[in-house]
Structure 1
Amino acid sequence: MRTPIRALALLLLFLLELAVLVIGARWGWALEAGLPLRLLSAVAVPLLLAALWGVYGSPKARITLPLPARYGFQAAWFVAGGAMLAALAGPLLGGALVAAWAATAALVRATNRPT
């Protein structure tokens, strides 16, 4: 059953996923390297993250992992996003991203139960 809270939590999860892709691009651009490598990294990092998410992390992933493994992959993916954000803007923001994901994912799972 789709409740308004669940719908809002799913929207927030999607926005957090997009934020990790943007953070990956910004992190690639911020590398201390020449312009060609920075440009390549700014494109390649979010593409790699998106490919990994599509194969392992999304609800419609190409490779269906057992539920605990999928949750583990998703946690690692968001922790990587938090680490990139921490490198760019400080550990407080990186930790806030991971905490926002954890709270939202827990809300989605809690609202998935039949009432």
Structure 2
Amino acid sequence: MYATGLLLLFLLELAVLAVGGWWGWALDAGTPVRVAAAVAVPLLLAALWGVFGSPKARVPLPAAGKHAFQAAWFAAGGGMLALLGRPLAGVALVVSWALTVALLRRAGRPA
């Protein structure tokens, strides 16, 4: 069960990266800016995750800080979906993350 929860979290993390690329591509700008944003936004999100959110983060945060960062990161993904005209998908992303983390913690293993 724990491995399944971790897999789901990983897939949700990838979803946020994909949403970042989609959001960058959807900007109301010229093609070069859209291409740059479609590449830069997921790279920035991945860098932030690697520094603060991942299990092997370069900047170790206390548990509450790490959870707050992860919540903000997934909320940003949900917000980008809302800006893309998919608010229900944004809510579903954030709720899926929150439920997965809650179930993993209830099982006695932090996510």
TM-score where L is the length of structure 1: 0.91
Among residues 78, 89, 99, which one is paired with 1:93 in the alignment? 89
CA contact (8 A) 1:6 1:107 kept: no
Q: Aligned equivalents of 2:107 and 2:14: distance in 1? A: 22
Query: What secondary structure does 2:84 align onto?
Result: helix
CA RMSD of aligned residues (A): 0.9
Alignment equivalent of 1:37, drawn from 30, 33, 40: 33
2:70 counterpart residue number: 74
Q: Which runs of 5+ in 2 are unaligned?
A: none
Partner Cα separation in structure 1 for residue 95 and residue 67 of structure 2: 15
Query: Counterparts of 1:9 and 1:51 in 2: how far apart (Å)?
Result: 23
Q: Which has the higher contact order (CA 8 A, sep 6+)?
A: 1
Letter in 1 for 2:105: R
Flag structure 1 segments of 5+ consecutive residues without an equivalent: none
User: 2:49 aligned with 1:16, yes or no?
Assistant: no
How many percent identity over aligned positions?
65
Matched pairs, number: 109
Q: 1:92 deviation in Å?
A: 1.0
Runs of 4+ in 1 over 6 A off after TM superposition: none
Q: Check whether the contact 1:23–1:84 (CA below 8 A) recurs between aligned residues.
A: yes
For residues 85 and 74 of structure 2, the distance between their equivalents in structure 1, rounded to whole angstroms, comes to 16
Cα distance in 1, alignment partners of residues 88 and 19 from structure 2:
15
| Aligned match of 2:52 | 56
